[in-house]
Structure formats: structure tokens, C-alpha cells
Structure 1
């Protein structure tokens, strides 16, 4: 009986997180192609999920994984994201880029569920990996673009924890949505 009790004990996370998958489908609109896969609220459930999904480097072109706090959708229009932005890392295609991508994605996920951003963890909404033809991107989304100190601290932690050697950039969601390109201010990059 003691063995059964041990198996049933799980280690809860402070927050519940939802994995979303964007399937590449030229028919239909973007939102209808975005599917919530499952939510996790324990360490064990996170690892069970992580060990049973494809690594980002194995996803087909046009796919996205998004992991967001349970009550936040991975879209600019969500009220939690509307005034925020994202830290952005890019990865080249090929074996070397795939290893860096997969390692960085795992580290970003561990930062999310482990609340590695200290007092700024409440600013973090989630993370996205976009698999595209030329390159793949990982972004960490924050709630408030104007909280520059919190965003800078989050960016430094991302860079340090992932070991990402290139500069990372921060961009406002509103600029990305309106122009489809970066609007990077001088404070918005970390070497």
C-alpha cells in the first residue's frame, strides 16, 4: 500500500500551464488552427508531456508550440498580452541549430514552470517556438512593455539560462502586429 501512495504523490507547480499547437494549415484562419493540447499543473505531468511530444527541431514547417499560463491564450489580442512584448531568439536550420534550438526550448520551459524570473515571474505570460522555412524562433512573452526593468531582467535570465550566444531582442506586440516587423529600441537588445 505504501508503494501506491508514493506513486500518487505529485509535486505541484505554482501555476498551471497550457501547451498549444499551431498546425500548419493553409485552409481556415489562424485562430482555428491553434489548438490547446493539454494543461499541466505538476512537475510529473510536465515531464510526461515533454517526453511524449516532438522536439521543436522535428516539427514541420509552419508549426508552433506555445506554452502559456493556463488562463492566457498565445495571441496578441489576449488581454494579458495586449500591452506586452517578447524577447526573441533565432536559430539556424541544420543539425547544429537543431541541438541549440531543442536545448534552449527546454531551458525556457523550465524557466517558465520553475518561475526562474524571481519577482518578475508574474510579468511572464508564456513562450512560443515558431518553426519556419528559413529559421526557427523562440520568444518569451511578457505582459507589460513599459516595465523596462522587469523586461531587461527577464531577458538577462533567458540569455544566461539558455546559453544563447547571439544578441536577443525585445519587441512590442503592437509593433509586430501593425507592421509585421521589429521595432527595436536601443535598450531592447542584450549582447
Structure 2
């Protein structure tokens, strides 16, 4: 089975093309703006030092606002399946290599923190993906969510504030899973949250051929009380 993965280990023969029409070619030459502007963040593995704050470990690394600028960045970012190959995400800095615990994409001017005003009264949907489902499936879930989020096709799109990919496979807080989180605002609007969850799961489980598979178990977490990210 083919998965929506950009890891060539899975889909070396998979090619994405347009229909080649002149209209499409002309359209692709123009900047295609996204509904929202987005920023990519990284979370560096925190030390066990007292006073080490979550906010100190998060760093914004890039921003994008068009389809083209997204793909320029996305083509150089690792797929989660690579974590299943005993690899770690790392960032080289002046003081050496730092392990990256999480990659995050959030709307511009929204920090990937519960304390941000757009997240404080919100929550997140959480998916714990075990390695035995396979790297191709992990990638497809992740890519579907990211593309659905930035393309504003998961309604109500205005509720979504961002997404996190958290490496929980190894390290001091290992749980043997890759964790995906979709953050949203306005947790108390239960009808909107339920609609968002339903549409999110459908997007996540959609296969390349358009068939809808099964989404993994979803946990819904509120941000009203401080906790670990």
C-alpha cells in the first residue's frame, strides 16, 4: 500500500504531478497565499536543571505564508518515520549539537505554549502512535494533518492554532511512541470542538486513493490547568 510519505524508503516510485495544463502551469508560477501565515518552531531537549523553562527550549526557526514557501521548507524537514530508524532530530548550534524533542507549526504570532492567549482557553487533540503501525502510516497521518491545517480544509479552520510532532521514542521521558497534537482555541464551545475532532480524524485517515481508513485513538486535553507540554 502506498502512503503519503516523503521518506524515499517508502515511496521511492511515488510521483506527484499536475495535469500539465497551461492554466495550472501559469497558476503555479504565482505565489499562492495560504489563509493564515505560519511559523515553524523547534523544542530542544530540556536539561534537568532547576528553573529550566519550557519557553527557553522553544525556538522559532522559519515562517511561511504561501504554498511555495511551505514546500521549500517542508522538502528539507524530516519525516516522522525517520525517528523509527533510530535517528534523532538535531540542530547544530555554536555550543554543539542539540537534540530536538518536538517540531511545531503554529499560526503567526501564536507561541506553542499553553499560556499564549489563543491557547490558554483552548485544548488539544492528542494521538499516540506506536512504531508497530509502520513508518508509512505514521508519515501519512502527520502529512495529512499538516496539509489539512495549513490549507484550512479541516473545519472550523479558525479554531486550529497549531500542531506538534513530539519524539517520545527515546530520551529521558521516553514512552515508546510518536505523539501528534493539534492545538485549538475555545475549548468550551463543545459543538465546535466535536465538529473539529470529527473532521480532523477524517482528514487524518484519508488515504492517497481517497478512501477513508481508521484514525488512531484520540485524546482531548484541556489547557485550562497548567501542565506539561
- What TM bracket, shorter-length normalisation? 0.7 to 0.9
Paired residues, what number? 173
Work out whether residues 119 and 184 of structure 2, in 8 Å CA contact, stay in contact via their aligned partners in 1: yes
Q: Secondary structure at the match of 1:174?
A: coil
What's the counterpart of residue 152 of structure 1? 194
State how far apart, in whole Å, the 2-side matches of 1:136 and 1:123 are: 24
Counterparts of 1:6 and 1:159 in 2: how far apart (Å)? 31
Partner of 1:55: 79
Give the one of 63, 76, 96 matched to 1:39: 63
The corresponding residue for 2:210 is none
Which piece of structure 1 moves more, 145-154 or 56-65? 56-65
Match of 1:113 in 2: 150
- 8 Å Cα contact 1:19-1:65 kept in structure 2: yes
5+ residue gaps, structure 2: 1-25, 89-98, 169-173, 206-213
Give the structure 2 partner of residue 189 of structure 1: none
Secondary structure of the residue aligned to 1:140 is strand
How far off is 1:8 after superposition? Answer: 5.9
Gapped regions of structure 1 (runs ≥ 5): 182-191
Match of 1:20?
A: 41
Maintained 8 Å contact 2:118/2:185: yes
Instruction: Give the secondary-structure state (helix, strand or coil) at the position aligned to 1:105.
Output: helix
In structure 2, the CA distance between the partners of 1:97 and 1:30, relative to structure 1 (3 Å rule), is: farther
1:174, CA displacement in angstroms? 2.6
Which of 129, 139, 143 pairs up with 1:91?
129
| Alpha carbons 2:166, 2:179 under 8 Å: kept | yes
Q: CA RMSD, aligned part only?
A: 2.3
Deviation by residue 1:124-154 (Cα, 9 ceiling, x = unmatched): 1111111112211111111111011111111
Is the contact made by 1:91 and 1:100 (CA closer than 8 Å) also made in structure 2? no
Contact 2:154–2:203 (CA under 8 A) maintained in structure 1:
no
Which structure shows the higher helix fraction?
1
> Helix, strand or coil: the match of 1:145?
coil
Distance (whole Å) between structure 2 residues aligned to residue 57 and residue 23 of structure 1:
19
2:229 matched to 1:171? no
- Structure-1-length-normalised TM-score: 0.81
Larger radius of gyration: 2
